[in-house]
Amino acid sequence: MDASIPDYLIREQAAVGALVAFGFLRVLAGAVAFARGWRIGWVEYPMIGAAALWCAPQLIALIANSSSVAALAELEGSATGCAIALFFAPILSHRLGYE
């Protein structure tokens, strides 16, 4: 009997983790930037870089073992969660009055 976790669960867990982490960090960074009078562009580019670093371990694991379904599912989930968070977090930050 195979006791491995299905790939869709890995993908969903990685997406939710990245969504929560980057959504929270982006709104927090927007609030700090607003309080200090920084341009919002100074927040966007480091967050995109952090998202790339967040997905880097899964990408390296996928390159090292090209037949790994779990690494591909985790990479897809992380990339999707980061993209959704970095798209919708500025909207939330704007609604909260930080941008």
Per-residue pLDDT reduced to its tens digit, 18-37: 999 998 998 898 889 889 98
Residue 71 falls in which region: left (phi positive, over 0), alpha (psi -120 to 50) or beta: alpha
Per-residue pLDDT reduced to its tens digit, 33-85: 889 988 888 888 899 999 999 999 999 999 998 878 888 999 999 999 999 99
- Determine contact, residues 42/70, Cβ cutoff 8 Å: no
DSSP letter for each residue of 19-31: HHHHHHHHHHHHH
pTM score, whole prediction: 0.82
Quote the tokens at residue 99. 């941008």
Q: Per-domain residue ranges for the chain?
A: 7-95
